Every structure is written in C-alpha cells, then in structure tokens.
Structure 1
Amino acid sequence: MRRCELELAVQDLAGVRTAVEVGARRVELCAALGATGGVTPSAGLLSATLDAAPDVGVHPLVRPRAGGFVYSRGELDVIERDVATAVEVGADGVVVGALTPAGRVDARAVRRLVVAADGAEVTFHRAVELVEDVVAALDELAALGVTRVLTSGGAATARQGIDRLAAMVEHAAGRIEVMAGGGVLPGDVGSLVAVGVDAVHLSAKRSVADAGGPGGGADAGFEQTDPALARAAAAALAAAVPVRAGA
C-alpha cells in the first residue's frame, strides 16, 4: 500500500515545530507567504529550521520576488546560487518554478536548477498552473529530473481540480510525484488521497492581527501556521485509505 505524505508550507519556527509535532513528511519553507505567495526564506531561518526539524524534509522555496515566473538571466543566476547554497547547508530539496514568455516550462532554466540541486529533490511549484497543458508538462518535468509537481490540477483549489489531479496521477505513472495543493482544507484530504496523489500540501494558516509598521497600514497583520488545522489535516491523512501500488 502506498501512503500519501503531508507537506506543510511554513514561514517561521513556530510553523516548523508544528510540522514536527503533527508528523509532516516535509516542510516547504517560505517567507512572506500571505503577502506574496512566498519568496526565498532567509539563510538564518533555513539554518534554524534544519536544527529544529532533523527528521522532517526541509525544502526551501527559491523565488527571488513576487509576481510571475519568467525570469531574467540575472534572476536565474541568483536562483541557481540560492539552490546550490540551500543544498550545501543541508536542505533535503528545493521548490522552484520557471516559465518562458510563451507560458511553457522553461526547460533550460529547470535543467540548470536540477543540476544545482546536486541530487537533492526538486519540486516544481504551482507555476505549472499557468502552462496550457498541465498534464503534458509532467512529461517534460519528469524528463528534466524533477521529483514532484505541486498543483491544484489547474483549478482555483485542489478540491475543484480533483478530476484533473486524478488524470495527472494516472499519466505520471510513478515517473514523477503529483502533490495536491491550493486551498486544501482538512476535509479535502480524504478525497485527494482517494485519487492517488503522492502528497497533500497545505499552509494550514491563520491570520494574526498586528498594528503594522510605517507604510504597512493599520492592523496589517500577518499569518502563522494554525496547529489545530495542521493536526486536523494529519488526522485526516492518517484516516484516509491509501491507494494500492499500481492501482
């Protein structure tokens, strides 16, 4: 029986500790998750996370800015350096994504980043949702050496994209992992496991009120991992019926 894994997107040590507590297989380590969708975390946060979670896979997001995923030569150089540095200090993998101006997977860029990862796992993030044929993109990413793709199946949420996710799992046929993400709630986990995804990904976040700072607006607030939501997701995963290998 093949067990589906849990990945939590976290942006601070409190979130990392929650991931450890609930038995998450991996964390996607980000900064500014709520404000930007996530950018590269600091070297200090990565180092502290590696110390705090020795038994959890630590996969930093490597994304130098908010906005789209078409990168200049200089931006790709920075991403490549960040990937290599993350792996050198002990990251188990990295999370990346790059597209061409035509909206295709940037194969040349992804190949460089896989090489920079030097054998560590590589997750292609939800930039894949912007590709016209998400299912066909699996073939290209698998051939490039990408470990897994994070996707909602091209829909606003993974729950809405569940039919496409099922098709992606079938098409991937074990060549590349399909990790469901995008608005995932604990109540969605069982249905996602049932279609055979290799992992479920969620931020399990809650908003925290804060006075903000100059230029930040009143009560700008920020987001943190909600331990209760994370525990509920882990419990739902434990209760879900795993898919038989080859099913």
Structure 2
Amino acid sequence: MTALEFAVQDVAGAIGARRVGADRVELCAALGSTGGLTPSIGMIEAVVSTGIPVHALIRCRAGGFVYAEDEIAVMNADAKAAVSAGVAGLVVGALTPDHRVDVGVLERVLDGVPVGDIELTFHRAIDQIADRAAAIETLIDGGMTRVLTSGGAARCSDGLNELAAMVEQAAGRLQIMAGGGVTAADIPALAHIGVDAIHLSARRVVADDGGPGGGTAGHERLDDELAAAVAARLRTTAAG
C-alpha cells in the first residue's frame, strides 16, 4: 500500500498524523514561510516521544540548495543531534551551482551519522534539477532511501507524467514519494502511477496575533479534518 507522510511542525501535528494512520511524519519548522527548516532539538525529542516515526528536515536556511562551508558544518551538527534524539530518518538535499546532486556536500552533512540505522530522504531540491533521470541514479548510488518530488512541477497533479517516469526508472531501487500541492482528490491518480508514498502538509493557519514583534498574525497547525480525509481517501483507493 502507498505510504502516507505528513509534514508537521509540532507535537499536536504528530499526534494528529498518528491518529489518522500516517506511516511517518517529516518534522520541520517555518514550513509555510520558508518551505521548511530544521526544527529545534527540543521539538524533535518531544515529537519522537509521540511514537510515530519521525524524519527530521536538515535545512539551515531558506532559499536555494547550494551551501557554504559554515552552513554545511551546521547541518552536519544538526543531523548528528537529530539522530541522537531518536529520529527514524533524515531529510536532506544539496545541489552544485549547476543544479546537480552535490554528492560531496551530502557526504559531509552525513559525516559521523549512523546512516545504516536510519532512512534518508532527498528533498525537493530534486525539482530544481533538469536531468532528474541522472539524479535518480546518483541518489541510488549514494544510498538514499527515497526522494520527495513533484516531478518538477508546481503541483504533483501537473507532474504526473514525470512522476510516472521516475517510478519506472527507480524500479524499486529508490522510493518515489510524491509531494507538492497534493489534495485528497489527487490521491487516486498518484496511487495509480505507483508512487511509493504521498507527502503533504494538510495545514491550516490558526489566527494568533503576536503584536509588532511577533511575526505573521497566526501559526500553522495540522488540519485534523483534512488529514483524516486524505487518509480515508488513500485507504479507499487501496481497497478499490
């Protein structure tokens, strides 16, 4: 059956994901405003304690995926700390200036990390790569478990053909996880092309005015009703 992963930012999100039967969560911070950054160690420990498998995003800043020396060092420290805190996996990614998988930077980010004990997901940096077929082979050779991708499109529904081609090429050697603008209505088509997993945030904004120094007027939470609808649609699709 196609696995289900929710991107969450807090304990409540992890509990909600577990309640609807998600297989795992990607834990990150500042999802809506940046696309996701590394969560704090305190948050990682708290979410791990909920019992659902946690995959921590390792991304030190917003923007592109070409990293400087100091940024690589920070992500390496974050990766080791996250594994020590009990995560089941890490979500990583790095590109060369000409938008290829940066194998050298990935090796340095994961230096000292017991990669044999965890799963590794290459994130949507792959959607900035023109030759995704070559990238898939690079990720397989590098020992990645899966890749999160929209097939290079703004939304998975617009990248179905590319996602199907990636599934065919990977042929079980690398899991293809569809993510990017996924709705419950998209699930049958994604399952039909054979993706190994579906990833979405299913989030809503809770109004919460922080005043002049509090940033935007609200914070994001998992939408429990939407998460339940997505999980139910996936189960129905698998059964039918």
TM-score (norm 2): 0.95
Match of 1:228 among 214, 220, 225: 225
Task: Determine the C-alpha separation between the residues in 2 that align with 1:23 and 1:197.
Answer: 18
- AA matched with 2:222: T
**Which deviates more from structure 2 when the two are superposed, residues 194-203 or residues 61-70?**
61-70
Counterpart of 1:69? Answer: 65
Distance in 1 of aligned mates of 2:184 and 2:134:
29
Give 1:121-132 correspondences, 5 Å limit: 121-132=119-130
Is the partner of 1:208 in helix, strand or coil? strand
* 1:196 counterpart = 2:194: yes
Q: Does 1:108 align with 2:128?
A: no
Give the whole-Å Cα distance in 1 for the aligned partners of 2:218 and 2:82. 29
Q: Which amino acid aligns with 2:124?
A: R
Give structure 1 regions of 4+ aligned residues with deviation exceeding 6 angstroms.
none
Q: Partners in 2 of 1:100 and 1:91 — Cα distance? A: 27
Please show how residues 175-190 of structure 1 align to structure 2 within 5 Å: 175-190=173-188
Partner SS, residue 171 of structure 1? helix
Is 1:178–1:199's contact at 8 Å kept on the other side of the alignment?
yes
SS at match of 1:49: helix
Cα distance in 1 for partners of 2:225, 2:76 equals 36
- Structure 1 residue 215: Cα displacement: 4.2
Q: Shift in Å at residue 150 of structure 1?
A: 0.2
Q: Any unmatched runs of 5+ in structure 1? A: 243-247
Q: Give the conservation status (yes or no) of the 8 Å contact 1:31–1:38.
A: yes
Equivalent position amino acid for 1:207 in 2:
V
Inter-partner Cα distance in structure 1 for 2:222 and 2:16: 8
CA contact (8 A) 1:156 1:182 kept: yes
Match of 1:245 in 2: none
1:83, 1:116 within 8 Å by CA — same for their partners in 2? no
CA contact (8 A) 1:34 1:222 kept: no
Offset, 1:214 = 2.1
Question: Which whole-Å deviations, capped at 9, do the CAs of 1:60-113 have from their partners, x for residues lacking one?
Answer: 111111111111111111111111111122110001111111111111112334
Q: Which position in structure 1 is the counterpart of 2:81?
A: 85
TM-score where L is the length of structure 1 = 0.92
Q: Does residue 156 of structure 1 match 2:154?
A: yes
Assess if the C-alpha contact under 8 Å between 2:73 and 2:109 holds in 1: no
TM-aligned CA deviation for residue 114 of structure 1: 4.4
The 8 Å contact of residues 148 and 177 in structure 1, kept in 2 or not, is answered as: yes
What number of residue pairs does the alignment pair up?
238
Between the aligned partners of 1:83 and 1:106, the Cα distance in structure 2 is 17
- Residue in 2 aligned with 1:170? 168
What are the ranges of 5 or more consecutive residues in structure 2 without an aligned counterpart? Answer: none
- Distance apart, 1:209 and its partner CA: 1.7
Identity %: 54
Report the RMSD for the aligned CA atoms in angstroms. 1.6
3-state DSSP class of the match of 1:137? helix
